[in-house]
Structure 1
Amino acid sequence: MTDVHHPSVRSKNMSAIKSKNTKPELTIRKALHACGLRFRLHVKTLPGRPDIVLPRYKAVILVNGCFWHGHHCHLSSTPKTRQELWLGKISNSMSRDRLVHDQLLDAGWRLGIVWECAIKGSTRQTLDSVIDELEDWLHEPTTLAIEISGKANV
């Protein structure tokens, strides 16, 4: 099946997709800041340039889009056209994510992952519950990693 858009239109559409300062990321950042947490953004010296870096807690938070990072939820589905291309892209992204996660943990950083479906879509949690979970994790230094996604039973 061919693409419904002209290549120049598709190129323009794809270039408009942001990799940082996305709506889910801004939502999490605003809520963390409102709780009094201070952080740095997209630190270039850390593997993968994490979205949110909390040096005081030696923790990073990644806010992942479900489609782009291959999360198995209602927000992620394989496009009908050029499936091999998309499956390859998403698979590469997932492999890169695993490598970055390992590098961060090996370097002594704690890792928090917030999936898009945790704050958007039919399985979303309340923003307060997501932030509470992140705060609890930050204040419990023995827990190295946390992953927050949408509710399982909706």
Structure 2
Amino acid sequence: MMSRVRHKDSKAELALRRALHAAGVRYRLHAPDVFGRPDLVIRSRRLAVFVDGDLWHGNPAEVRRRGRETLADLFPTRTDWWVAKIERTMARDREVTERLRAEGWTVVRLWEHDVLHDAPACARTVCRAIGR
């Protein structure tokens, strides 16, 4: 099942890229030399942008959207394993953000749902981080 989860070029990422391109922002994709391999990188501004999947990165709003109380309620089988997996992802996201900031990068993290709901608003968030 996990092999079908897109690691890049998700619908949300493509929507954000289109909105940023329309705003005149140019970027690099999945820069392998930047820690954490951000989805978008603007080197001149030392800006790293991540589009995090709601479920796999532990968005608390996603649990509510799915009509559940807790993350564990989303997984009827192998509950402990799935919750631990998502919590590890959340911890890794925090570590990546902290390290990039320590190295002088500005980090913008956007939720997939927010990008799909209003990509131009998310693009404006990135533009504000750039300083435009």
Structure 1 and Structure 2 fold alike (TM over 0.5): yes
Q: Which residue of 1 aligns with 2:98?
A: 102
Q: Which residue of 2 aligns with 1:130?
A: 122
- CA offset at residue 26 of structure 1? 1.0
Q: Which amino acid aligns with 1:36?
A: G
- What percent identity do the matched residue pairs reach? 33
Is 2:11 aligned against 1:26?
Answer: no
- CA offset at residue 40 of structure 1? 0.6
Q: Which amino acid aligns with 2:125?
A: E
Higher relative contact order (CA closer than 8 Å, sequence separation 6+)? 2
Q: Which residue of 2 aligns with 1:88?
A: 84
Q: Which amino acid aligns with 1:102?
A: E
Is 2:59 aligned against 1:67?
Answer: no
Is 2:113 aligned against 1:117?
Answer: yes
TM-score if structure 2 supplies the norm length? 0.85
- Verify the 8 A CA contact 2:29 2:38 in the aligned structure 1: yes
The C-alpha deviation readout for 1:50-96, integer Å capped at 9, x for no partner, is 10001121101000001111110135753221110100100110111
Which ranges of structure 1 fall in alignment gaps of 5 or more residues?
A: 1-12, 141-154
Moved over 6 A (4+): none
Q: Which amino acid aligns with 1:28?
A: L
Separation in 2, partners of 1:19, 1:128: 22
> Pairwise CA RMSD of aligned residues?
1.6
- CA offset at residue 112 of structure 1? 0.5
TM-score if structure 1 supplies the norm length? 0.74
After TM superposition, the structure 1 = structure 2 runs for residues 4-15 of structure 1, keeping only pairs within 5 Å, are 13-15=1-3
Separation in 2, partners of 1:134, 1:44: 20
Q: Which amino acid aligns with 1:87?
A: V
Please say which structure displays the higher CA radius of gyration: 1
- Verify the 8 A CA contact 1:51 1:61 in the aligned structure 2: yes
- CA offset at residue 129 of structure 1? 2.0
